[in-house]
Amino acid sequence: MMWLYEDNHLLTLNKPSGLLSQADSTGHPDVITLAKNYIKNKYNKPGNAYIGLVHRLDRPSSGTMVLARTSKAARRLSKAFRERCVQKKYIAVVEGMLSGGGIMEDYLTKEADRAYVTHRSSSGKYASLKWEAVKCSGQFTLISIELITGRAHQIRCQFSHRGYPVVGDRRYGAHHRLDRHDCIALHCKSLCFEHPVKKERMEIKAPRPDYWKRLEI
């Protein structure tokens, strides 16, 4: 895991695919536990270090995450995400050939561990994103995405629903795997937000994983 920026109020990182954002019943490694250990060891803090989770990335995806180091920062960052004041940019490689760009708007519902597009606004949550095709290579397309809302599995579900699943995402119908079974070609390349205390505009960027090179795109 690569730490990108830190100060007394926040900690940012490049989350690798396969790593949980938060601990669950599996006992597998997670971002929050690793971040607490990092702060505790680096600053020789007694007891548990405070780390606040203000947003999540799906386990098989990778990219930029921001964590809070104080409860005040956690409240303010959580509010910024909730009120869509954070600019979230992703890149993905999808199966199929796409060109141009546009806006995807759907209503999503979630059952168990999967999201679905529903045609009834009363039973789903509004989901919106902007996308642009960057490059096509063989049977894949590199897509640039700005996430407007932040629904669970939103990008994975919306592109799969239109016949363009994210490479490696077998849960949403992908036929091609990446070298690692626990990753998909979906990466949060940057987050742009107002610092919770200093009020300065910040942009945190994370380089995409090296294993994407095998896609030759």
CB distance 52 to 74 below 8 Å: yes
User: What are the Cα distances from residue 52, in Å, to 10, 21, 117?
Assistant: 9, 11, 31
Q: What is the DSSP letter of 176?
A: -
Q: How far apart are CA 96 and CA 168, in angstroms?
A: 13
Angle at 12 between CA 6 and CA 17, to 5 degrees: 150
CB distance 185 to 168 below 8 Å: yes
> Measuring CA to CA, which residue among 85, 86, 125, 89 is closest to residue 105?
125
Tokens 């019943």 correspond to 25
Active site residues: 58
Strands 125-137 and 186-194: unpaired
The pair of structure tokens assigned to 127 is: 């989901």
**What percent of the residues of the chain are helix, what percent strand, and what percent coil, each to the nearest 5?**
20, 40, 45
